[in-house]
Structure 1
Amino acid sequence: MADIGGHAIYKIEDTNMIYIPNDTVRITHPDEARYLRIFQNVDLSSNFYFSYSYDLSHSLQYNLTILRMPLEILKTETIQTRQESFDIFEDEGLTAQGGSGVFGICSEPYKKYVWNGQLLDIVKNTVHHDWLLYVIHGFCGQSKLLIYGRPVHVTLIARRSSKFAGTRFLKRGANSEGDVANEVETEQILCDASVMSFSAGSYSSYVQVRGSVPLYWSQDISTMMPKPPITLDQADPFAHIAALHFDQMLQRFGSPIIILNLVKEREKRKHERILSEELVGAVTYLNQFLPPEHAIVYIPWDMAKYTKSKLCNVLDRLNVIAESVVKKTGFFVNRPDSYCSILRPDEKWNELGGFVVPTGRLQTGVLRTNCVDCLDRTNTAQFMVGKCALAYQLYSLGLIDKPNLQFDTDAVRLFEELYEDHGDTLSLQYGGSQLVHRVKTYRKIAPWTQHSKDIMQTLSRYYSNAFSDADRQDSINLFLGVFQPAEGKPHLWELPTDFYLHHKNTMSLSQTRRSYTYWWTRGVLNHLPLPYDEVTCTENRRKLIVKKFHKYEEEIDIHNEFFRPYELSSFDDTFCLAMTNSIRDFMPKNVGIDPSPFTVRKPDETGKSVVGNKSNREETVLQRKTAASAPPPPSEEAVSSSSEDDSGTDKEDEGAVSQRSTPVKMTDTGDNIKITENIVQSMKDMYGINLSDVPSEDDLTIYTRFVQLGQNQHKQDKNNQQLCSKHRLDGVINLAQTPNIVGSCDLGGLCPPKQVSSSLFFSFK
């Protein structure tokens, strides 16, 4: 699915459940078959990803930061504390090859984003660590942006949290440990694909987060209403739950933590505004104990209100917010600023935040975006922030002269398609349907035919939430180990609610509550704005293992991993050629003299239709965007609507128009079907010239001169004329565009090579 610095990212295609003991000693249990069916409802072939050599649970900034730690210190500490991590046979193999080997650093995965962590903990101490393959759930996509032939890989990775995970109406708000529902960490990675090496290549990344409002709240779906009322389940005057959540974010991302709240603020009937009022109070309470320079930034913006207004441009306002956010957090890049940026810095570049180190820049802090469902509005807001960050990333790598990107360019269209696939996938996993309101909806360029399909889309999501979400929730609880079957305890299907499974602190009588004022983890404030997880300290170094590899080990052999010479394959099937390409998929066929992916083009000039092809879209959904055990929609066109938006929907037009010619109009006359109209692309669009029906006298004079030049050329080259006389016609004009052309005659005969001494370049008015 992607390649990051030579490390391949894979998607699970198929799984098999194997019973390890011999069948002769197998003890059957009457409930085992039912638990197996529930367990297998989590379709591991849908959006589960892994890598043999790259830690997907951590960001690129974390993975490259630990590489900068002194290797000798890591080797000394890990050998003293974790001797069992080295295999004796591996050491002997290295010695047999003359002692040559490669040292690699393995970090403990971030358990929050690992979905099979509970399953592997059972066998963690009994098997070799090479058998432990950690899996993440979410989205992974990569596209190739060609900038004048220079390949740049744009990668989008979404990590879904395994804590308090579930479906839309069954998992809202936060649990007692500060984990929120639908929490997803989205990372966009930009790399110069001409050099596949972390040490020599250029890499940049930007991280942002989405998640439910960190409060105790829920919606009762027993009333069978499309929009159940929002209720606050428990009073939290000291913002204990919000404090636990933001403490996790300070440890992982540093400061500042920026909240972009897109929940409605003005409503006739108080519905979403309940969450906004409660969140403002929680943030205000927590900020009074933090230093002012590290305070939580709260940005409320009623996106639904701006969408309905005809006088406001939603994306322009989001662009202003995105600029301010990226300037505060900065982004990660593994190389120092280029000399031209230092010599002639852009005015926006000087205002950029983050943390500057000798080897590049670090992102400090993160943007946390939320609405009620964290689906449609959130995805559009995250796209605008990602688009702004992408401009800075391209500028930092020296690929554009100013950190600005405009809509209707090949680069932004490629990035928008990645984010739409990303939003569709996450929406299917959490809400049971694809996105309804996309970027084109808020740009108000969506086709009006979509509005007639709102009823079917609403029924699809309503069906998913009312009839299939409960079964999906049971399978997720069993897969993640939230519920573990045991003798003498109620079965999973006998529980009236899973509230106590996800709120474990409510079951313990002796709770150790944190301080109401010092609500952060000890040591976090000492290193801000840097994240505590990336600081070089003894506690973090204990999480790392130095591992020895043979130099021909499969895990570090980038060439064999990428090209797979031991398999029967073709170049057309390799990942580097099959991935989305800006030139092949987005650039116009008649691009002319401006092949830049940063040039603004009209919608009808693009290589791919702006509204897309419906059949291709559905095929993409089946291959890349299916959610874990997502229910099938009522019909192939049924894409359910979101409860968070009231405006129209968006979907691709049926039948994309070919970019090479206009549609062919067919008429039926009797039994024969005749083509009455087939207008090809005009000569002006194809060649840049336009010939009139009646040429002027000046043009006729020019034409006559060219005919004479052609005749004179044939007279001067008598030797070649005699050799090719059998295959030539009298009066044929032979104009060569480049010197020293070697070829054969026009009529297909085998003629000797012919050298042309001069070139002719001509144009018409």
Structure 2
Amino acid sequence: MATLPFRDINVHASASYYAFTSPSSPSAPTLVVDRPSGDIRLNDGQLLGGKRVSSIAGILGMIKLRLDKYIIVITKAQPIKRLKGHMIYKVIATEFLPLRERPLHDQDEDTYLTLLKTFIKTSPLYFSYSFDITNSFQRQAQLDTAQPLWKRADDRFFWNRFIQSDLIDFRTSGTRHQHAQQPGADAYILPVMFGMLEIQNTTVKSTPLTLVLITRRSRHRAGARYMSRGIDEQGHVSNFNETEQIIVLNDNSSGPAGFAGGGGIQNGKMGGSGGKEAQILSYVQTRGSVPVYWAEINTLHYTPKLQVRGIESALPAARAHFDEQIRLYGDNYLVNLVNQKGREKQVKEAYEQLVKALQSGSSKERTAQDQLSDEKFRVIEPSNRQQEFDRIHYIYFDFHNETKGLKWHRAQLLLDRMQEALDKQQYFRAVDMPASFEGGLEVRNRQTSVVRTNCMDCLDRTNVVQSMMARWTLNRQLTDLGILTRGETFTSDAAFEFLFRKVWADNADVVSKSYSGTGALKTDFTRTGERTKAGALQDLQNSISRYIRNNYMDGPRQDAFDLFLGTYLPNPSSYTVFADRRPLLIQAIPYLLAFCTFFVFVGTFTRRLPDAAVLPVRIFILFWFAVGCWCLNFIYRNGMLYVNWPKLNPRPWATEGYNEAITNARKDKVIGQFVARHERGLSTSRYTNAEEGKKRIE
């Protein structure tokens, strides 16, 4: 039987160690982390001198910052609901246990801690003690269930993999003095997923079932919207998410209550409804950034500056990306929703050139048109079916152009075009195997391909299209189960229709918030099936909020991603990493603008004495108004100097843009001569942090 993570762990602390024990498993070895070295060992006997300080739900991981190493423990976890008898939990609260008895603090260390604590607190992190939520049901059916839970976890969605690396290294290699595997550590390694998970017990036409939606966000190339775009050298794309829609039929094990354990429930082998076999049907879709080297560069303008590099440089990375996608999912149907005109056009063209270059030999290309648009679909298919990338199929749909004027029904044209591919694609279907000790599944059908959808952000347009494809497949599944008659759809069940829309709108908001900082746009259509004025106003509010967050708040958020995921490793010798090293005069201009606004406001609205001279007041107001206008114009023209960029792993295009903006500032007729030539260590200190933060390749 597989070793599962402990559900209950007591923490004992002393001046020389932290000890972790499970009261429900008294015979299990104690995990000991020595202080302050951080060495890990297992102890079979009773430790002396330790004092029990708390009970925790699990160990999230260990992380080394500039001055100290910390054990991050989950102090509070909220039960969500059961999935096939396994309780799913959400991380609510954590605590950082310092290894030094007297923690050392400085400005950088405190900033690191604040970034990490804020990141964990605001992130949707889920886990289960007995169920692998990082893998789709189809992948789970192919895995060895005798393996520990952390070994089965999908590396892409094992979000605390980096901070668990100390425990994993100890498990696989032992200590410096004893090189041997330590299977006793398996129960302390808890994989956590970042994303969206919603479980709803419902009925369709009086048939009870459980509707589940899980979106798993990849930990590779993770980050904030404008700080992370395109693809990296290893073939990982930004904002990659796998979304699995699941139906569980004839299963009474998905209630909201917790449980104390027990083999039958723990392994998901609870009795089905009326003795019928429990069935699982799932459908998987993916989304991810356009796999070329491109970036959108914040300059404080509402529309960022777009850069797209030549596709030749991205070919090796794109090959690695699609090699993995084909290996994991089979055929990939690449649905591209970016605009065919305007600034997005070059991203569309780069994607199409990339697909053509990947498909060796000549490729067939077709364009379908109608009277409402110049180009409705563009389809690229390889002509030689034996080529290496003959399993990627590119489909372009001009979403904005086709649905403009609130004609959202025209998005159905994409489904009509993909009818044959969706029919052939199938979905995963399996039934419980009650005789299996591990609660295995008997596979009846497999999904043979995946639809990979993208727009510019892989958020708003992508959400709408993915929910449409999920709806189409769910109708097909319910028809195959006999719940719906041929040609019928679940829209006839108003309550289920409302629930389906709500779940997908919730998914849209969670995915959007984790990438852009706000909820998704167009969710009024997802929730109600039509575009509304209230929805348009909400989209306006979200767009303004995105502008503020993307320019002024996403830099620290990106730093938190890089810290948590190990793409930046703090260096004890580095200091004042987060210091603002711009010239003081550049820093002062926003404050001067604030003073000007204040003086103009005071001069305009302060009551004057009847005999007071008017001219001096007017000159005073005009002077500060002119200075304020100049400040505003300077900030607008040199916006890159005022964007809150990531400080740990500076983006190359941000460095180039910053240097260009500083050069322009030195040429300014008013303050150019006063801008310091030596920017207080900016080029030699701030940007050498990229060298200190070399990416950890595991």
Normalised to the residue count of structure 1, the TM-score between the two structures is: 0.54
Show the counterpart of 2:546: 461
Q: In the TM superposition, what is the alpha-carbon distance from 1:437 to its structure 2 partner?
A: 1.0
For 1:155 and 1:460, how far apart are their aligned partners in 2? 30
Q: How does 1:606-621 map to 2 (within 5 A)?
A: none
Aligned amino acid, residue 163 of structure 2: L
| Pair 1:392-2:476 in alignment | yes
- For residue 473 of structure 1, the aligned residue among 558, 567, 576 is 558
Q: In the TM superposition, what is the alpha-carbon distance from 1:375 to its structure 2 partner?
A: 1.1
| Pair 1:333-2:429 in alignment | yes
Q: Residues 447 and 60 from structure 1, CA distance in 2 versus in 1: closer, same or farther, beyond 3 angstroms?
A: same
Of 169-178 and 453-462, more deviation after overlay is shown by: 453-462
Q: Secondary structure at the match of 2:208?
A: strand
| Pair 1:14-2:93 in alignment | yes
Aligned residues: 443
Q: Residues 455 and 201 from structure 1, CA distance in 2 versus in 1: closer, same or farther, beyond 3 angstroms?
A: closer
For 1:2 and 1:502, how far apart are their aligned partners in 2? 41
Q: For each residue in 1:54-112, what CA deviation from the matched residue of structure 2 results, as whole angstroms up to 9, or x when unmatched?
A: 11111111112336xxx9xx7xxx8xxxxxx8xxxxxxxxxxxxxxxxxxx87432221
Q: Secondary structure at the match of 1:236?
A: helix
Aligned amino acid, residue 502 of structure 2: E
For 1:59 and 1:403, how far apart are their aligned partners in 2? 29
- For residue 166 of structure 1, the aligned residue among 210, 223, 230 is 223
| Pair 1:2-2:81 in alignment | yes
Answer whether contact 2:227 2:651 (CA < 8 A) is retained.
no
Show the counterpart of 1:284: 356
Q: In the TM superposition, what is the alpha-carbon distance from 1:392 to its structure 2 partner?
A: 2.1
Show the counterpart of 1:343: none
Q: For each residue in 1:344-386, what CA deviation from the matched residue of structure 2 results, as whole angstroms up to 9, or x when unmatched?
A: xxxxxxxxxxxxx984111122110000011111000000000
Identity of aligned residues (%): 27
- For residue 157 of structure 2, the aligned residue among 80, 88, 113 is 113
Q: Residues 321 and 188 from structure 1, CA distance in 2 versus in 1: closer, same or farther, beyond 3 angstroms?
A: farther
Aligned amino acid, residue 257 of structure 1: N
Q: How does 1:186-585 map to 2 (within 5 A)?
A: 186-194=243-251, 196=253, 197=268, 200-222=277-299, 224-236=300-312, 239-254=315-330, 256-265=331-340, 267=341, 270-288=342-360, 292=385, 294-308=390-404, 313-321=409-417, 323-335=419-431, 359-402=443-486, 404-405=488-489, 407=491, 409-410=493-494, 411-438=496-523, 440=525, 445-452=530-537, 455-489=540-574, 493=578
For 1:445 and 1:316, how far apart are their aligned partners in 2? 14
Aligned amino acid, residue 239 of structure 1: L
For 1:13 and 1:498, how far apart are their aligned partners in 2? 28
Q: For each residue in 1:114-139, what CA deviation from the matched residue of structure 2 results, as whole angstroms up to 9, or x when unmatched?
A: 21100000222436111111111110
For 2:110 and 2:486, how far apart are their aligned partners in 1? 61
Q: Secondary structure at the match of 2:451?
A: strand
Q: For each residue in 1:265-318, what CA deviation from the matched residue of structure 2 results, as whole angstroms up to 9, or x when unmatched?
A: 1x2xx3111011111111112122786274311110001001115778323214
For 1:156 and 1:444, how far apart are their aligned partners in 2? 19
Q: Residues 15 and 253 from structure 1, CA distance in 2 versus in 1: closer, same or farther, beyond 3 angstroms?
A: same
Q: Secondary structure at the match of 1:116?
A: coil
Q: How does 1:672-691 map to 2 (within 5 A)?
A: none
Show the counterpart of 1:690: none
For 2:443 and 2:223, how far apart are their aligned partners in 1? 41
| Pair 1:143-2:200 in alignment | yes
Show the counterpart of 2:695: none
Q: In the TM superposition, what is the alpha-carbon distance from 1:198 to its structure 2 partner?
A: 6.1
Q: In the TM superposition, what is the alpha-carbon distance from 1:473 to its structure 2 partner?
A: 0.7
Q: For each residue in 1:512-548, what CA deviation from the matched residue of structure 2 results, as whole angstroms up to 9, or x when unmatched?
A: xxxxxxxxxxxxxxxxxxxxxxxxxxxxxxxxxxxxx
Aligned amino acid, residue 344 of structure 2: E
- For residue 52 of structure 1, the aligned residue among 121, 124, 129 is 129
Show the counterpart of 1:37: 114
For 2:475 and 2:529, how far apart are their aligned partners in 1? 23
Q: In the TM superposition, what is the alpha-carbon distance from 1:234 to its structure 2 partner?
A: 5.0
Show the counterpart of 1:507: none
Instruction: Give the greater-gyration-radius structure (CA).
Output: 1
For 2:323 and 2:462, how far apart are their aligned partners in 1? 22
Answer whether contact 1:323 1:385 (CA < 8 A) is retained.
no
Q: Residues 497 and 235 from structure 1, CA distance in 2 versus in 1: closer, same or farther, beyond 3 angstroms?
A: farther
Q: Residues 252 and 2 from structure 1, CA distance in 2 versus in 1: closer, same or farther, beyond 3 angstroms?
A: farther
For 1:203 and 1:403, how far apart are their aligned partners in 2? 22
Answer whether contact 2:288 2:458 (CA < 8 A) is retained.
yes
Show the counterpart of 2:588: none
Show the counterpart of 1:61: 138
Show the counterpart of 1:640: none
Q: Residues 415 and 194 from structure 1, CA distance in 2 versus in 1: closer, same or farther, beyond 3 angstroms?
A: same
Answer whether contact 2:568 2:649 (CA < 8 A) is retained.
no
Q: How does 1:62-101 map to 2 (within 5 A)?
A: 62-66=139-143
Q: For each residue in 1:468-498, what CA deviation from the matched residue of structure 2 results, as whole angstroms up to 9, or x when unmatched?
A: 1111111111111111112335765369767
Q: Secondary structure at the match of 2:200?
A: strand
Q: Residues 464 and 400 from structure 1, CA distance in 2 versus in 1: closer, same or farther, beyond 3 angstroms?
A: same
Q: Residues 3 and 323 from structure 1, CA distance in 2 versus in 1: closer, same or farther, beyond 3 angstroms?
A: farther
Aligned amino acid, residue 202 of structure 2: L
Aligned amino acid, residue 432 of structure 1: G
Aligned amino acid, residue 320 of structure 1: D
Q: How does 1:584-599 map to 2 (within 5 A)?
A: none
For 1:106 and 1:452, how far apart are their aligned partners in 2? 44
Aligned amino acid, residue 235 of structure 2: G
Answer whether contact 1:391 1:403 (CA < 8 A) is retained.
no
For 2:82 and 2:527, how far apart are their aligned partners in 1? 32
For 2:321 and 2:222, how far apart are their aligned partners in 1? 15
Aligned amino acid, residue 241 of structure 1: A
Q: Residues 145 and 374 from structure 1, CA distance in 2 versus in 1: closer, same or farther, beyond 3 angstroms?
A: same
For 1:284 and 1:307, how far apart are their aligned partners in 2? 28
Answer whether contact 1:394 1:403 (CA < 8 A) is retained.
no
Aligned amino acid, residue 181 of structure 1: S
Q: Residues 369 and 439 from structure 1, CA distance in 2 versus in 1: closer, same or farther, beyond 3 angstroms?
A: farther
Answer whether contact 2:403 2:411 (CA < 8 A) is retained.
no
Q: In the TM superposition, what is the alpha-carbon distance from 1:192 to its structure 2 partner?
A: 1.1
- Please provide the CA RMSD for this pair: 3.1
For 2:111 and 2:243, how far apart are their aligned partners in 1? 35
Answer whether contact 1:173 1:218 (CA < 8 A) is retained.
yes
Aligned amino acid, residue 134 of structure 2: S
Show the counterpart of 1:615: none
> Unpaired runs of 5+ in structure 1?
79-84, 86-104, 337-356, 504-765
Aligned amino acid, residue 317 of structure 1: L
Q: How does 1:633-712 map to 2 (within 5 A)?
A: none
For 1:174 and 1:203, how far apart are their aligned partners in 2? 34
For 2:480 and 2:431, how far apart are their aligned partners in 1? 9
Q: In the TM superposition, what is the alpha-carbon distance from 1:31 to its structure 2 partner?
A: 3.5
Aligned amino acid, residue 121 of structure 1: S
Q: Residues 438 and 451 from structure 1, CA distance in 2 versus in 1: closer, same or farther, beyond 3 angstroms?
A: closer
Aligned amino acid, residue 290 of structure 2: V
Q: Residues 193 and 4 from structure 1, CA distance in 2 versus in 1: closer, same or farther, beyond 3 angstroms?
A: farther
Q: In the TM superposition, what is the alpha-carbon distance from 1:163 to its structure 2 partner?
A: 0.8
For 1:214 and 1:148, how far apart are their aligned partners in 2? 43
For 1:213 and 1:456, how far apart are their aligned partners in 2? 27
Show the counterpart of 1:175: 232
More strand per residue? 2
